[in-house]
Amino acid sequence: MQVEIKAVSRAGQFETFSAEHVDVPAAVLQAEARGYRVLSARESRTGRFALGSARTAFPLLPFSRELLSLLEAGLSLTESLDALVEKEPRAPVRAVQNRLVHDLREGRSLSQALDRQPEAFPALYVATIRASEQTGDLPEALGRFVSYQAQADLLKRTVISASIYPLLLIGVGSLVALFLLVYLVPRFSTIYGDMGKDLPWASRMLLGWGSFIDGRQGLVAGAVAVAVVLGWLGLSSKELRGAFVRPFWRIGPIRDRVQVYFLGRFYRTVGMLLRSGIPALTALDMARGMLPAVLADGVDFARAQVRDGEPLSSALAAHGLTTPIAARMLRVGERTGQMAEMFERTGRIYEDEVTRWLDWFIKLLEPLLMVFIGAIIGTVVLLMYMPIFELAGTIP
């Protein structure tokens, strides 16, 4: 077994490393014995072809909202968690909450209890709660995380919603075109087989395809199934996704919009970490995973420059991790000591820009897709029926 660990070293540096041939609890104990503060530890799934997981994902946002409501109503932390356990019908979620209650009654702080379950509570959440324990304002920290996560989920839902209809159009159009080319065209090629050179050139090409594919439909179905499986595995592989996206990254307008989307998430996360008391260099390291590889490398170079004394705003700008407005806002944050607020404001600006652009793009893309798919299907149908039209024209 291999366990992937994310932790903060004694020097305050965020590190990711692996432990071999041990389970998760033993890996955590080994890391802590070496002086690390473990943020998350989970079994590595590299090399597995798992299309799904039986584990129920912990509903972090609803849990935080309900806990915040109970705390604001005057219940203690333990009473609030007990109430959440009683109302929870799902056994895996209830088990996570029970472990929290058990740890609290053993004298651990909430952040320590959360830290013991990294599969349910991410490092950002633990850091936010740990900072609130120093100030004694847990409800404010929960409210801040709820606002952050709700905005992140809203942007994610916006992107997914904007993708559904175009993908549906492409899927339905592809199925119709496949049906025409694999099922109908071979039958028309049999009917027109004796007409030979009397057919238009384009029709002869189409019906030649029909003759070739006739009797091989099973082979085509198998090839389509293999293509779907390979596509799914490709989407599951970070390396293959990167190779697929890299050519599109060279297209300026697409690169700029995608970059703004990822930078919005990155800036919001860094702002939350800074507000939670995490040092700037560690916050950059922890938020690095929000970015694709082409941008994440820039974070490493920026961290090195900041460590050498370069201002954070200049280091990020030097490696393409800002826009002119963002660079100005970060410089203001450096002068006023409000870097956390400026990162969060910049993240909101980026997210609003992405939302507006998506709305405009989808309104333009949907009719263009309908015209394109209709043109393809119409062309195939026209080429199949063109000989009939010509025959009808020769009848006196």
In a domain, 128, yes or no: no
**Under a CB-based contact definition with an 8 Å cutoff, are residues 41 and 5 in contact?**
yes
Helix (H) or strand (E) holding 78, with range, is helix 77-87
pLDDT value, residue 249: 65
Length in residues, the chain: 396
Cα 19-23-29 angle, rounded to 5 deg:
70
Spell out the residues 6+ positions from residue 157 whose beta carbon is closer than 8 angstroms to its own: none
SS3 content of the chain, % helix, strand, coil (to 5): 75, 5, 20
Residue at a domain's end among 96, 121, 146 = 121
Torsion of CA 241, 247, 249, 251, to 10 degrees: -150
Say which amino acid occupies 357: W
212 shares its domain with 343: yes
In a domain, 52, yes or no: no
In a domain, 53, yes or no: no
311 shares its domain with 349: yes
313 shares its domain with 188: yes
CATH number at residue 223: 1.20.81.30
Phi, psi of 18 (to 5 degrees): -120, 150
DSSP assignment letter at 319? T
pLDDT value, residue 52: 34
Q: Is 13 left (phi over 0), alpha (psi -120 to 50) or beta?
A: beta
In a domain, 55, yes or no: no
212 shares its domain with 69: no
Spell out the residues 6+ positions from residue 100 whose beta carbon is closer than 8 angstroms to its own: 81, 110, 113, 114, 117
146 shares its domain with 276: yes
Q: What is the pLDDT of residues 141-170, one digit of tens each?
A: 888 888 888 877 887 787 787 778 888 888
66 shares its domain with 189: no
117 shares its domain with 147: no
- Token readout for 22 is 């041990």
In a domain, 225, yes or no: yes
In a domain, 127, yes or no: no
Q: Work out the number of other CB atoms within 10 angstroms of the CB of residue 12.
A: 12
In this prediction, the residues of the chain whose per-residue pLDDT falls under 70 are 1-2, 10-14, 20-23, 25-26, 39-40, 42-56, 190-200, 202-203, 234-249, 252, 387-396
Residue at a domain's end among 121, 147, 174 = 121
Structural domain for 12, as ranges: 2-43
32 shares its domain with 107: no
pLDDT value, residue 115: 85
171 shares its domain with 82: no
212 shares its domain with 105: no
Residue at a domain's end among 80, 95, 121 = 121
Q: Work out the number of other CB atoms within 10 angstroms of the CB of residue 259.
A: 19
pTM (2 d.p.): 0.62
In a domain, 324, yes or no: yes
8 shares its domain with 117: no
pLDDT value, residue 13: 64
283 shares its domain with 147: yes
In a domain, 131, yes or no: no
In the chain, how many domains are there? 3
Spell out the residues 6+ positions from residue 62 whose beta carbon is closer than 8 angstroms to its own: none
